[in-house]
Amino acid sequence: MLNLKQSDCRFGGVAFAAGEDLSLKAGHLVKLNAGKDLVLPETDRDFAPYVVVQGADQGYLCGAVPVTSAMNIRVKLVGTCDAGALLVSNGDGRVKAFTSGSQARPVGTAEETGVDGQLVLVRPLAYGVAGPAGETGPAGAPGAGGVPGRDGGMLVVPIADIQHFGAAIGVSTGFCVWLVNSTGTYSWEGDWGYANQSQDVMQYVVAGNDGTNLFLLPMGESASGTFDAVVPQPMTVPAACVRKGTSAAGGYLGLVYNEDEMCLGYQASPTSPDFIGACYLKVLAVTGAYLTCVFGDTVSYGG
């Protein structure tokens, strides 16, 4: 039974009046204007769904066929193209090879190599090119917190600058080093047996290392020290620095013997037994992996 609703539809070529002089525009892409006339596109982004097969002067019937992937067409080429290249609108009814970043309307794929001015064989395709970047989206959710960094009062000293440092680097955390002023000559000592030859010493505890440098937390200086060092009060000491004893609020941290090693240790009293080294710290609080401490006092070591 005949479908009367489609009785006036056509397949193939069409004829519309030329809305401008199209007498020499065979092989050019055209579009319909509001007056139902065929005209050339005005920009390379216009939709031009027909190609002229029989040109005509303005006001006369012009023959055209729809641009559809069901059949290939020949369109006037600007420049050159390779077979398989994407061709886009040139904005004047002709096509050109696509170049990166172009926003021109895609027409189809070249089915042959083309030279400037040629009516190149084109297979129209229903695909486009990437559009302009979209607007910036809303900010994402905050990320997870980073790993706690080193205390702001820490000093970074090259391991190579430390003399007589007997501890292996991998287990150096919790050992002490001293900055020694011997009659105006400064040196770094990693053994108290060398550092205590001078009464003018600044004591640090090793909080970590990166294989090249030691990260040193200042504890304080000897009673006769002249460094005028600024020791943060209170200071945060990583619990991992305490290599002997179990830290608790109200106790003390200082240099102690742990078998044959001298390292940072905890004691309930700074004098039972006496600490060695230049000074010791008082523990104010223990919070998780960190101790809050203040400078306790200097250590009398016979100088």
User: Concatenated DSSP letters for 212-242?
Assistant: SEEEEEEEEE-TT--------SSEEEEGGG-
Burial letters for 173-208: b for 16+ Cβ neighbours within 10 Å, e otherwise? bbbbbbbbbeeeeebbbbbbeebbebbbbbbbbbbb
Asked whether residue 180 is assigned to any structural domain, the reply reads: yes
Residue with tokens 């895609």: 106
* Model confidence pLDDT, tens digit, residues 90-117: 999 999 999 988 889 999 999 999 999 9
Report the pLDDT value the prediction gives residue 126, as an integer from 0 to 100. 63
Residues 200 and 273 in one domain: yes
The pLDDT of residue 186 is 87
pLDDT confidence of residue 303: 38
Kindly state whether residues 228 and 191 are assigned to the same domain.
yes
The string of pLDDT tens digits covering residues 152-182 is: 678 899 999 999 988 888 789 999 999 988 8
Domain membership flag for residue 130? no
**What does the block give as tokens for 289?**
């992996």
Is residue 277 classed exposed, middle or buried when 0-12, 13-18 and 19+ CB atoms within 10 A define those classes? buried
What local confidence, expressed as pLDDT, does residue 167 receive?
84
pLDDT at res. 248: 94
Phi, psi of 124 (to 5 degrees): -60, 135
Residue 8 domain-assigned (yes or no): no
Predicted confidence at residue 302, as pLDDT, reads 44
Distance of CA 108 to the CA centre of its chain: 38
pLDDT value, residue 261: 83
Report yes or no on 251 lying in a domain. yes
Are residues 232 and 161 part of one domain?
yes
**Domain membership of residue 110 as a residue range:** 73-124
Helix, strand, coil shares of the chain, percent, nearest 5, are 5, 40, 55
Same-domain pairing of 260 and 189: yes
| Per-residue pLDDT, 151 | 60
pTM of the model: 0.51
Q: In whole angstroms, give the CA distance from residue 93 to residue 88.
A: 10
Residue with tokens 């309930």: 268
Sheet containing 38-39: order of strands = 14-17, 61-66, 50-54, 29-32, 38-39
DSSP letter assigned to residue 96: E
Cα 225 off chain centre by: 47
| 254 within domain boundaries | yes
Q: Which residues in the chain come in under a pLDDT of 70? A: 1-3, 126-131, 147-152, 198-199, 228-230, 301-303
104 and 170 in a common domain: no
Total of domains in the chain: 3
Residues 274 and 171 in one domain: yes
Residue pointed to by tokens 């019937």:
61
Regarding whether 209 and 170 lie in a shared domain, the answer is yes
Per-residue confidence (pLDDT) for residue 56, from 0 to 100: 94
